[in-house]
Structure 1
């Protein structure tokens, strides 16, 4: 049984795990322009380097949650940390985009186990009264990667080679291993739950095909038959997955979870928030470097207002939610995020940093308003016995939102950039390089001493950024409407059958191992 003190130490261990994931998710953002040069990566390659991590993570979250419930959450956490550390080393020493994409996929697999099981353990060791505070710490630890990743990564890129940005995961992993061993209690959920091979295959195939089709559409155009067929095939596979889950004797996803409005809409709205934020973080570092001329460290420092806004937003939301309810706070948060994104859509090549800092801070505050209350609404509807698979489903939806945010908004940005950049008079090789990415376009323009081309590259990229922010803002507005219509005002009671336990205790002995 976890004591009052030990469960807060356990929270610190779980926060270290999520900090490592958050750090890895954003440290790459400042390295994208460097990778474009050193590894000769196209915009499509950069999207795959980012999306392979998110996609594998999303595809593996569901079985990871189930495996944690069955074999023990602490045991799975320790194994995932080892995999995460080894994959980080593989990323650091990759010598091609293909190797880096593969190593990032392995990194995503480790993260896929860490994310649902850390939140599942929170559901087990904290009661409804303390869970919002614990969840705010957990979300904040993950969010700290937003500034720490770019700032630390920027300093490393300015002083070492790009692989060093992945090696910073190693000390985090070692600290996490020690902390989990010392303070996280072992716990189980439904240990009799069987595997669902059909569900795993269909969900993975659908997610991979859908994301690949969207990325290819950005490279080849939306009228490209192969891209459309692949994307539609992915949607069809996901539809088959849902149909299979209704029939399967031991489904990968228990669709009965969606009978709870709090679970359904809390998970969906946190997904909407992730869509806009991941898409924004994919584009902003390239804007700061290609358009603003910042180095990697300067780019990281320029992203700090995002976390500042998030921390302020989360603190205010934590005070308002008990009085106003989740519906009002989440709706306000999504509208605040939309306001920041729409303001950002007026950014031009010559816009000063003060304006950019203001709108990204507002967008970050909107995320802080939205994410903890939405997550608490969803987790509060889960019993401890189903916390692993339920948390896996929540995290899978969030990561799908992040992957689609990078993919869809990256595709919108790339399409607008390619259509807007002026390459008349350039050789075929130079023109192709300019169209590949804004980073390559700036390098070509500076190499040729062509001021007009440089201006065209920066204007075209900014135009693409603005269009992608309009799309992200529209999605946030749609989320606010859905929150207002469907999200319950107050957290839901746990599922029927959940045992009442004193704060910090674990489930009955049959479901836990001290």
Structure 2
């Protein structure tokens, strides 16, 4: 297909455009539920692959770290070499990663598969929105962007359900296999239905900045995940922290001196953008951490199967979707500063309430604070993202979107790493392994799932009870830290966010502005 400009393509009402939109919806749906489908599978995979808590963190974080590091250059690659071409390439890479995940049988190869999928996802996410102006005129574009965005959002609650059902009926590799037919359909539809578009005037991809981002994030995440095992004072851990700091500092200095930076740090001088980005990132930090610790509590401690675990995580997703839908009118009435602050306070209350969980607490109590947490998430993150972009001039909305999405993904990766490491430290410290062999004790300290397997093999029921109590102690600590972080952020937003922040337009229109700015 010929390369066309966005403005001319938008005027051409191709009758195939809705079929093409369906292909993009399928692609975004896969990305959406792949963000959460692994979480419900981690307890099963930990048992079958003998994965420690740190290794589980790597399986979850490999996708997010690569995704965050490559999303900005991926968007620029699409601008330079063709959005349709790079979107198809991203889907192909994601397909390869899914096939690897289906076939492997070791933790290391699962991490590799997740990293490859992160590479593909980094291409698909920004370009799926960027191709819409080539398909739809402005009158239809808002609706199309809303549909694509909804598909991505819908994937998050579907992930635990789909993953749980697959694990109850098939092997754990099926959570990767489910991607294959959907991605294959997306590739086929993109080949035959999408026109090609480019923007030669966009900034060039900076290989050095991309390498600094990936290396800095990788070193930071490695240090956080491995510190509970090696010790926070271990020379390797300290050198990794130092290296991460140096690499990220070099990235900031390089980008500040670039005439057309790939990562526009000057946007952070805008106080409204900075504080709203901080709030959205904190929410993703907490959400990712909770999605990591909850499935093991529901499966290993409360004894639910994988599908039951997915269903029991729905109250949080339900609360989030309800709040996201209701956020716009509430923001129009009270202003973004009040709504974001209150959302963060609600989130803090839910986390602190959850920190009251004991070994006797049933699922009813968990469902209560999960629902409240979902409401807090929704009322904080949606206005924060809209207000962050609304604080910028329209001509900078494209670069602002890239920076905001990148920082959010970094928050997700650090949330899994930091909160997961905190959980692991408390769990190992509280686990009672005094009366079992050293080898068994080491295995039980890897994860609560491993402790249950050791207890069953040795016939020591007290070990399983101790593991449950130790895991709850770790989860309680994670929730308490999350609640305090949310409360501090709420106070910062309430005190420092400019009072005159304009009410944001609706989310779909904001996405349209961001996409148009990239064109």
Length-normalised TM-score, structure 1: 0.88
Instruction: Measure, in 2, the Cα distance between the counterparts of 1:164 and 1:62.
Output: 30
| Correspondence for 2:497 | 486
User: Using CA pairs below 8 Å that are at least 6 residues apart, which structure has the higher relative contact order?
Assistant: 1
Whether the 8 Å contact between 2:317 and 2:374 is mirrored in structure 1 is yes
Distance 1:440 1:55, change over 3 A: same
Q: Please report how far the alpha carbon of residue 367 of structure 1 lies from its aligned counterpart in structure 2 after TM superposition.
A: 1.6
Q: Please report how far the alpha carbon of residue 129 of structure 1 lies from its aligned counterpart in structure 2 after TM superposition.
A: 11
Structure 2: 5+ residue stretches without partners: 1-8
For residues 292-303 of structure 1, what are the structure 2 equivalents within 5 Å?
292-303=302-313
For residues 23-422 of structure 1, what are the structure 2 equivalents within 5 Å?
23-120=33-130, 138-177=148-187, 180=190, 186-189=196-199, 191-380=201-390, 389-422=399-432
The DSSP-based 3-state class of the residue aligned with 1:84 is helix
Instruction: Measure, in 1, the Cα distance between the counterparts of 2:69 and 2:173.
Output: 26
Structure 1: 5+ residue stretches without partners: 494-499
How many residues align structurally? 502
Instruction: Measure, in 2, the Cα distance between the counterparts of 1:505 and 1:95.
Output: 42
| Correspondence for 2:10 | 2
Whether the 8 Å contact between 1:2 and 1:505 is mirrored in structure 2 is no
Distance 1:345 1:373, change over 3 A: same
| Correspondence for 1:496 | none
Distance 1:164 1:468, change over 3 A: same
Instruction: Measure, in 1, the Cα distance between the counterparts of 2:364 and 2:408.
Output: 30
Whether the 8 Å contact between 2:351 and 2:482 is mirrored in structure 1 is yes
The DSSP-based 3-state class of the residue aligned with 1:476 is helix
Length-normalised TM-score, structure 2: 0.88
Whether the 8 Å contact between 1:329 and 1:370 is mirrored in structure 2 is yes
Instruction: Measure, in 2, the Cα distance between the counterparts of 1:363 and 1:504.
Output: 30
Distance 1:61 1:505, change over 3 A: closer
The DSSP-based 3-state class of the residue aligned with 1:293 is coil
The DSSP-based 3-state class of the residue aligned with 2:445 is helix
Q: Larger deviation: 73-82 or 153-162?
A: 73-82
Per-residue CA shift, 1:177-209, capped at 9, x if unaligned? 355567766544463522323212222211111
Q: Larger deviation: 117-126 or 16-25?
A: 117-126
| Correspondence for 2:437 | 427
Q: Please report how far the alpha carbon of residue 19 of structure 1 lies from its aligned counterpart in structure 2 after TM superposition.
A: 1.8
Per-residue CA shift, 1:121-162, capped at 9, x if unaligned? 579999999999877655543332333111111111111111
Instruction: Measure, in 1, the Cα distance between the counterparts of 2:226 and 2:198.
Output: 41
